[in-house]
Amino acid sequence: MVCPVSSPPLDPQAASSAGGPADLDGTLRAALIESRQRMKELLELSCDFAWETDANGLFSFVTAGGALGHETLDLLGSDPVDLMLSPEDGRHFQADSPPEGLLVWASTKAGAPCCLHLRARAIFDEQGEFQSVRGACRDVTAEQDRDVALAEGRHRERSLIQLFRALRQAGDPKAAMEMGVATAAQATGAAGAMLCPVTDGEAGEAIAQFGSPVAAPHLARQAIEIRQPFRSLSAGRRLLALPGELGGRVAGVLMLWRPEDQPDWPDDDLFLLRELTDQLAVAIAQAEEQEALSRLSQTDALTGLLNRRGFEARLKDVIAHARATGTGGALVYVDFDNFKQINDRCGHLFGDQVLVAGARAMRERLSEDDLLGRFGGEEFIVIACHRDPEQVLALAERLREDVATQLSWTAPELRSIATISIGLTFLADFEPPARSSALLEAADRALYEAKRDGRNRVRRYAA
């Protein structure tokens, strides 16, 4: 509890008995000095420096400690504008109606920026003439820096939260990954970033990238092994790798870099980046699942070859490339002869074995540039690339012979009926832009001719 204390009134009689007016003057003088000292100490405690400028706008008073690294004597008579980063801020020290509270930016003697909270009041004489400005300044640079850092942190956090929502709602995992990598780099001031999938503990090729690439496989391996963010300095770059986990395994690794002269990533950035990387791991898994489903939808389950859907999806591109490069080629239509009879005599399971054996024989004969697919039932189709007509005809004959040989080993008792017929058409026979369906129809007609002529033979489409 604080109780008010008042001094008793001065008794002239007592003062006279204590020594007279001289002692009274000394007591009052001491009290005044003590009061001034107290006010000076309170002023110094309440601000970093106090000041006064004269009618010309020059410093006429600065507290004993000086200001901004300058000594008091160096500041007296100087212009406050010279200390400010902006001339407009300096004029607040000279205005006849200065603001009550304002943030201004000054430069210290060492050249460092300094934020000052300025409070000032204009002084006028009895006639109302402007005399001077008195004020006090408090250094709030640290507070400003902290407020800016907090604001930036809140902004990054809001941005990443919005990104997380967008990632969850994105229908295309690829687009989600591109967006996530770009946001991670931009939100943390990285010069480059990339996201790599992880299979069996090894990082693969980048599937999303922003800015300059990050070629640091050792960095990815370390992050995957320790399952923690891993930092490194290399070739003037500050590197960071973060593992993204899903279902107890590392599914991806996000790598970022910035120049070495920039500061390291702070803890709050690492926390948000780890959360983001785990979200990107989900997008990686979704992309892998979509790719697997796409492969299944375009792959024949029995032979492992392209099915009709997958083959037709590739057919237009292969034909366009062959025509653009002038490398030639042909469409080769293959049909297993007497297949219904094989199924009726030996069963459908054995019929499947015949198809698998024939498909294997064709695949072994074809080159990597050729395209082979199962078109349906016992029908197969080949795009033979980079061959002239004579080479295609020779290939078709070898396919017929190879398959017959393979099937005779698979079913010796069916040697006379386990054969194939082939119809083919050449790309050069059709003027571009001929539809792929027209090529298929032509090859199918040639195949019909081979069947009609007795099976186990090759026929070429004749326009």
Question: Residue 160: CA atoms inside 13 Å, Cβ hemisphere, count?
Answer: 25
Closest CA to 137 of 35, 62, 42: 62
Answer yes or no: are the C-beta atoms of 257 and 214 closer than 8 Å. yes
The tens digit of pLDDT for each residue in 25-42 reads 777 776 666 666 665 556
Task: Give the mean pLDDT of 91-114.
Answer: 87
Domains and CATH numbers, the chain: 36-139 (3.30.450.20), 146-295 (3.30.450.40), 308-460 (3.30.70.270)
Closest CA to 331 of 451, 453, 434, 454: 434
Answer yes or no: are the C-beta atoms of 404 and 417 closer than 8 Å. no
Residue reference for tokens 């009134």: 9
CA distance 337 to 409: 16
**3-state percent breakdown (helix, strand, coil) of the chain, nearest 5:** 50, 25, 25
Cα 15 to chain centroid, rounded = 85
CA angle in degrees (0–180, nearest 5) for 153-154-158: 120
The tens digit of pLDDT for each residue in 365-414 reads 999 888 899 998 999 999 888 888 899 999 999 999 999 999 888 888 88
CA distance 416 to 228: 66
How much is the pLDDT for 34? 64
User: What single DSSP character describes residue 299?
Assistant: B
The tens digit of pLDDT for each residue in 197-230 reads 999 889 999 999 999 887 778 889 999 999 999 9
How much is the pLDDT for 216? 79
Residues in the chain: 463
CA distance 117 to 263: 28
Task: Give the mean pLDDT of 239-250.
Answer: 92
- Tell me the angle at which helices 348-365 and 339-346 cross, rounded to the nearest 10 degrees: 130
How much is the pLDDT for 82? 94
| 7-11, 113-117, 445-449: range with lowest mean pLDDT | 7-11
Residues 6+ apart with CB under 8 A from 24: 10, 15
Closest CA to 51 of 89, 82, 77: 77
How much is the pLDDT for 446? 95
C-alpha pair distances (Å), 257 with each of 193, 238, 353, 453: 7, 5, 55, 69
253 pLDDT tier (thresholds 50, 70, 90): very high
Mean pLDDT computed over every residue of the chain: 84
Q: Which amino acid would we find at residue 92? A: H
How much is the pLDDT for 40? 59
User: What single DSSP character describes residue 419?
Assistant: -
The tens digit of pLDDT for each residue in 254-280 reads 999 999 898 888 887 888 888 888 888
